[in-house]
Structure 1
Amino acid sequence: MATATPPAVPPAVPSTATHATFVIERTYDAAPARVWAAFADREAKQQWFSCMDPSAESHMELDFRVGGREVNRIAMPGGPVHRMEATYWDVVPERRFVYSYAMHVGDAKLSVSLVTVELSPAGAGTRLVFTEQAAFLDGHQEPAERERGTEIGLERLGELLRAESASA
């Protein structure tokens, strides 16, 4: 009697999660209302938000309010689409906002995060504290890479605020 071949076992689905928290602090020479507007206004945020190559094709939707959503899609020439989908949970004008977001590249979900952004007066400027608590999924991205991308975005925010001050 012939023995039956056991059914093939499907490959294991990756199921790792690396947890990380990082805090980035910046002081900008702009009033809290101006820094707030750079996050709350879609046109302003599009100027600084991405850490990607400026030649990338991008699309942004922004509904900056409690329960509002943000969607960012960025496509590098010949590359996959990077997508960030966020929901705003807490918004205290010119002081604090809290949102959660998932980051995808193509069909892969890279991470899910909770972010708190706090603004406070610092002389004539603004102190910003950005805290991200993230679960990086299945080895798709390293926490240090995300932190560096966030630093680049906040550096670009500073450049935008300086340029606006210089032209005022």
Structure 2
Amino acid sequence: MVRHDTFTISRHLDVPPGEVFTAFADTAIRRRWFRLPGSGASYEHDFRVGGGETASSTYTGLDTAPERLEYRSRYIDIVGPHRIVYGYEAVVDGELRWTSLVTVRLGVDPDGTRLDWTEQVTFLRYEGDGSVDLAHLRGASVLRLNGLDAALHTGRPRQQRR
């Protein structure tokens, strides 16, 4: 069985859309906010239509055996600085757990950017009715966007924030 879900997270970021777009495109900035949990992580990033990103790490939770995590994405549509559409796969210990289509929309907002992150996910393996897996994925996306916001302000004095 599979489970399909969709969620949207909206954020106001107090920098212009071009800076937010750059945080997705520039690999050095991206590494400050896009990370897999665990140790021994490796990343490759090619920000162009048809390009994508691969990442892997080993995660060890409390009282659990280590898990090998893999992330593989492909950029489908990039319209800077307004929109990024990509698909990705999440693999744990060699097993495809879920795949998603993500649309990131960046719009001008008073004093910054309105970011809308919409994710359409297909869970291929999940626990129980899948509601815990969806909550986990949504929570991880919120944390990732928190990291994006922090990365946008790294090295920027507080009084210069827009």
- What TM-score comes out, normalization by structure 2 length? 0.86
CA contact 2:98–2:121 (8 Å) conserved in 1: yes
Counterpart among 93, 111, 125 of residue 124 in structure 1: 111
**Counterpart for residue 96 of structure 1:** 83
Cα distance in 1 between the residues matched to 2:157 and 2:58: 32
Please name the residue that 1:69 is paired with. Answer: 52
Deviation at residue 57 of structure 1 after TM alignment:
2.1
Instruction: Give the C-alpha shift of residue 116 in structure 1.
Output: 0.3
Greater mean deviation of Cα atoms: 154-163 or 21-30: 154-163
8 Å CA contact retained: 2:36, 2:57: no
Which digits, 9 at most, give the CA deviation of each residue in 1:9-48, with x for residues without a partner?
xxxxxxx211110100011111111111111111111111
Counterpart of 2:28 (choices 43, 61, 69) is: 43
Give yes or no for the alignment of 1:32 onto 2:17.
yes
Aligned twin of 1:3: none
Q: Is the 8 A contact 2:10 2:114 kept in 1?
A: yes
The one of 76, 87, 98 aligned to 1:111: 98
1:10 is matched with none
What is the distance in 2 between the residues matched to 1:20 and 1:161? Answer: 29
Which stretches in structure 1 are left out of the alignment for 5+ residues? 1-15
Corresponding letter in the other structure for 1:50: R
The change in CA–CA distance for 1:45 and 1:131 in structure 2 (over 3 A counts) is same
Displacement of 1:51: 6.0
Aligned to 1:159: 150
How far did 1:121 drift? 1.1
8 A Cα contact 1:57 1:76, kept in partner: no
Unaligned 5+ residue runs, structure 2? none
Give the TM-score of the pair, scaled to structure 1: 0.83
Count the aligned residue pairs. Answer: 151
Q: Name the amino acid aligned to 1:58.
A: A
2:155 and 2:148 mapped to 1: Cα distance? 11
